[in-house]
């Protein structure tokens, strides 16, 4: 009953808003919070994270490896490496030179380098890192490499960390010996902090040395893991308390061609055996070419599951459905060759959840996690459209449901939130009885404000919705001029009241993309920006964080004159009860440039006389956070008071306000 009233109210409210225009500035708006009628549970998965290796988000970002092309597997095997005193083209090789050597044809770890040291005084091999290396004074770094003597006697390798000016800021000498491959390590503690450091290798003796897997990690990774993740970046994610982690994308799942699709089986097991792959964002955009962007898969599926577990988030892997990115080649696997793709999905479920007696459960055990990851969701295809997707999806759907009836399958409605592809996909997926459909929208801030009622009319008995990729674009989709400004974040905050008001239907949501390296990005806007030393959350991040950390457990309604607040007079609102904390939680967004005086009337439960409001605001819609001003736009918490069952509030211009007040049971 209440659902019906609120949903129809959304449409009525829009008409009312159009008719009456703005309220006089100081008129009080009376809002009623209906605490006695819960509409639907808010799913723990309501606010989550979308992760894709775009913008150097994995290699060069979250994955803490500091050496680019550590195992010489890029298409140009010496990319990222330089030999300043050795130039083959001018026959200047007196000091020595390194050449790539192939082990054998095959997938994994194809190359190593043969370093010929002719003059130990002169020969140097440098790695430039990912737009430099961020090195911190006094912190420990773990340097490792594999080596074998091939000729003569190169008796030691000296590793030196260099500052921006090329001066040593820490070094270690590592003796090497033996004609068989062996692993070596050293610890370095630099004496200076630099943003754009680099690494230099020099050698003692002359001869030829084989080198491979040259790696440098900070010791202080997330949870101190070797082969670990960058601590500051994971911390920003953990602070969001996300309900799920979707991985590994995005278009990266599909690949520009099928050969370059993401194949999870190639991302597990020992890191040195994971074959590298060119990153599909490498040369996608003419305006942001990144030819040195590859996937080492050091952050692979095991690590994604582990990260989900660390974050307390449901793992939500998305797999290729046998269609390459339809914005690129759209290459299709023939239907009679689809089976290996389906098998990948079935095997992934075994990898995540199977007992250690199963082949893939055993792989998980061997990687150090005998307990299952308890994966509940799997996504089939990313942004596919048309009959080609539906016919492939049906095969996956049948096979997964048959073998693993408890697994929830996430399907996709294509790249756009309306239009022919969308309509067709939704219609067909509903016919099949799809459980959860992923929708994507990269639209203007205006669109987000106008679409706060988008889900009011969705069938409560139809598929559930995963708003899997969305972000307001200040200029246009994929424009390099897009900004993470307050205008975009405020519009998303307004829209999110609509997601929350429709929690019966919308059960998972995530902003996209997640992360971007300040110098290595291809796509903007992004929720978190980082360089090699620092990271910060954008205003969009704080909006996501405020929603996710104030989710509540049960949806209730908040109305004005019996209608939901969906933008009439520039006011948007949603409300939940938090039955664990016994608090009522309100999100109110004022998108106007004027303050709003409101009176909150709490009905159905007695509320306490004190509460809090977290306010995220800025006077200017063009304001942004930056490395120099990382928390320019960030929440400020204030106390609020309640008299009896009412509370008077002033909502600042351009503000998101999250109110929490305890109630008596």
Which residues would be at the binding site for ligand AHR (CB under 6 A)?
52, 54, 249-251, 382-383, 415, 469, 512-513, 523
For ligand AHR, the closer of residues 184 and 285 by Cβ is 285
Question: In the complex with ligand AHR, which residue's Cβ is closer, 297 or 663?
Answer: 297
Q: Please state the closest distance from residue 413 (CB atom) to ligand AHR, in A.
A: 12
| Catalytic-role residue among 73, 284, 303, 383 | 383
Closest-approach residue to ligand AHR (CB): 250
DSSP three-state, residue 284: coil
Q: Which is nearer to ligand AHR, 503 or 514 (CB)?
A: 514
Least Å distance, CB 328 to ligand AHR, is 11
Q: Is 473 or 497 the residue whose CB approaches ligand AHR more closely?
A: 473
C-beta separation of 295 from 357 below 8 A: no
β-pairing, 194-218 vs 125-127, is antiparallel
> Which is nearest to 565 in space by CA: 38, 40, 14, 24?
14
The least CB distance from residue 255 to ligand AHR, in Å, is: 11
Of 210, 240, 236, 233, whose CA–CA distance to 299 is shortest? 233
Q: In DSSP terms, which residues pair with 246 in a beta bridge?
A: 50, 316
Sign of CA dihedral 377, 378, 384, 390: negative
**CB-wise, 250 or 552, nearer to ligand AHR?**
250
Which contacts (CB < 8 Å, 24+ apart) does range 160-163 have?
160/199, 160/200, 160/201, 160/202, 161/133, 161/135, 161/188, 161/190, 161/197, 161/198, 161/199, 161/200, 162/126, 162/197, 162/198, 162/199, 162/200, 163/135, 163/192, 163/194, 163/197
In the block, tokens 């997640």 appear at 514
Structure tokens at 64: 């803490």
Q: State both tokens at 224.
A: 């101190």
Question: What is d(CA 18, CA 29) in angstroms, rounded to the nearest whole number?
Answer: 17
Taking the complex as a whole, the smallest distance from the CB of residue 316 to ligand AHR amounts, in Å, to 14
Q: How far apart are CA 149 and CA 179, in angstroms?
A: 5
Give catalytic status of residue 272 as yes or no.
no
Task: Give the β-pairing of 194-218 and 141-162.
Answer: antiparallel
SS (H, E, C) 535-598: EEECHHHHHHHHHHCCCCCEEEEEEECCEECECHHHEEEEEEEECCCCEEEEEEEECCCCCEEE
Query: CB-wise, 68 or 256, nearer to ligand AHR?
Result: 256
Q: Residue 447 in contact with residue 412, Cβ under 8 Å?
A: no
Nearer to ligand AHR, 383 or 583 (CB): 383
Of 131, 203, 217, 133, residue with least CA distance to 173: 203
Nearest to 458 by CA among 430, 497, 478: 430
For residue 645, what are its two tokens? 């069952």
Q: Hey, what are 427's tokens?
A: 């219609």
**Please, which residue, 54 or 584, has the CB nearer to ligand AHR?**
54
Cβ proximity to ligand AHR: between 286 and 628 the closer is: 286
E strand or H helix at 396, and its extent? helix 387-403
Active site residues: 383
């Amino acid at each position: 009953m209440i659902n019906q009233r609120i949903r129809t109210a959304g449409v009525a409210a829009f008409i009312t808003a159009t008719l009456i225009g703005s309220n006089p500035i100081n008129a009080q708006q009376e809002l009623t919070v209906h605490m006695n009628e819960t509409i639907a549970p808010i799913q723990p998965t309501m606010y989550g994270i979308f992760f894709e290796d775009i913008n150097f988000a994995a290699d060069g970002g979250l994955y803490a490896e500091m050496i680019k092309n550590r195992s010489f597997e890029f298409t140009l095997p010496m990319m990222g490496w330089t030999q300043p005193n050795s130039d083959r083209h001018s026959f200047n090789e007196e000091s020595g030179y390194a050449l790539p050597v192939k082990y054998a044809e095959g997938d994994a770890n194809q190359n190593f380098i043969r370093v010929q040291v002719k003059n130990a005084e002169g020969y140097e091999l440098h790695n430039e890192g990912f737009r430099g290396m961020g090195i911190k004074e006094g912190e420990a770094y773990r340097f490792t490499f594999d080596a074998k003597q091939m000729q003569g006697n190169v008796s030691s390798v000296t590793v030196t960390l260099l500052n921006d000016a090329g001066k040593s800021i820490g070094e270690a000498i590592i003796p090497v010996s033996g004609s068989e491959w062996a692993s070596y390590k050293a610890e370095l503690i630099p004496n200076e902090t630099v943003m754009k450091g680099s690494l230099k290798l020099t050698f003692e003796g002359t001869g030829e040395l084989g080198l491979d897997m040259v790696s440098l990690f900070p010791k202080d990774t997330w949870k101190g893991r070797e082969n670990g993740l960058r601590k500051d970046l994971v911390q920003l994610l953990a602070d969001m308390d996300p309900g799920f982690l979707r991985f590994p994308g995005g278009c990266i799942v599909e690949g520009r061609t099928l050969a370059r699709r993401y194949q999870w089986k190639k991302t597990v097991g020992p890191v040195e055996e994971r074959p590298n792959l060119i990153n599909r964002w490498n040369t996608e955009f003419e305006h942001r070419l990144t030819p040195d962007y590859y996937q080492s898969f050091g952050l692979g599926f095991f690590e994604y599951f582990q990260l989900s577990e660390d974050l307390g988030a449901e793992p939500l892997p998305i797999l290729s459905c046998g269609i390459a990115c339809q914005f690129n080649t759209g290459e299709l696997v023939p239907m009679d060759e689809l089976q290996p793709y389906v098998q990948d999905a079935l095997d992934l479920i075994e990898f995540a959840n199977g007992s250690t007696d199963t082949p893939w459960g055993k792989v998980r055990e061997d990687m150090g996690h005998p307990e299952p990851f308890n994966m509940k969701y799997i996504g089939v295809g990313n942004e596919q459209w048309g009959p080609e997707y539906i016919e492939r999806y049906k095969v996956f759907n049948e096979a997964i449901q048959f073998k693993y009836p408890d697994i929830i399958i996430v399907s996709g409605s294509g790249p756009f939130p309306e239009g022919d592809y969308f309509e067709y996909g939704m219609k067909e997926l509903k016919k099949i009885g799809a459980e959860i459909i992923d929708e994507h929208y990269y639209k203007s801030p205006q669109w987000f404000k106008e679409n706060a009622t988008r889900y009011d009319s969705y069938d409560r008995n139809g598929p559930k919705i995963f708003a899997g990729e969305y972000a307001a674009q200040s200029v246009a989709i994929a424009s390099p001029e897009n900004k993470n400004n307050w205008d975009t974040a405020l519009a998303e905050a307004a829209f999110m009241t609509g997601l929350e008001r429709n929690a019966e239907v919308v059960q998972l949501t995530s902003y996209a993309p997640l992360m971007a390296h300040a110098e290595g990005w291809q796509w903007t806007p992004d929720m978190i920006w980082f360089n090699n030393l620092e990271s910060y959350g954008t205003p969009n991040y704080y909006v996501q964080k405020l929603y996710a950390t104030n989710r509540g457990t049960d949806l209730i309604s908040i109305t004005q004159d019996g209608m939901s607040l969906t933008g009439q007079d520039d006011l948007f609102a949603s409300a939940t009860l938090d039955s664990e904390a016994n608090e009522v939680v309100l999100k109110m967004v004022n998108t106007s440039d004027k303050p709003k005086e409101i009176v909150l009337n709490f009905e159905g439960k007695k509320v306490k006389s004190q509460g809090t409001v977290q306010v995220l605001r800025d006077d200017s819609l063009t304001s942004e956070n930056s490395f120099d001003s990382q928390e320019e736009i960030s929440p400020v918490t204030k106390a609020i008071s309640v008299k009896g069952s009412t509370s008077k509030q002033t909502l600042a211009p351009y503000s998101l306000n999250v109110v929490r007040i305890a109630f008596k049971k």
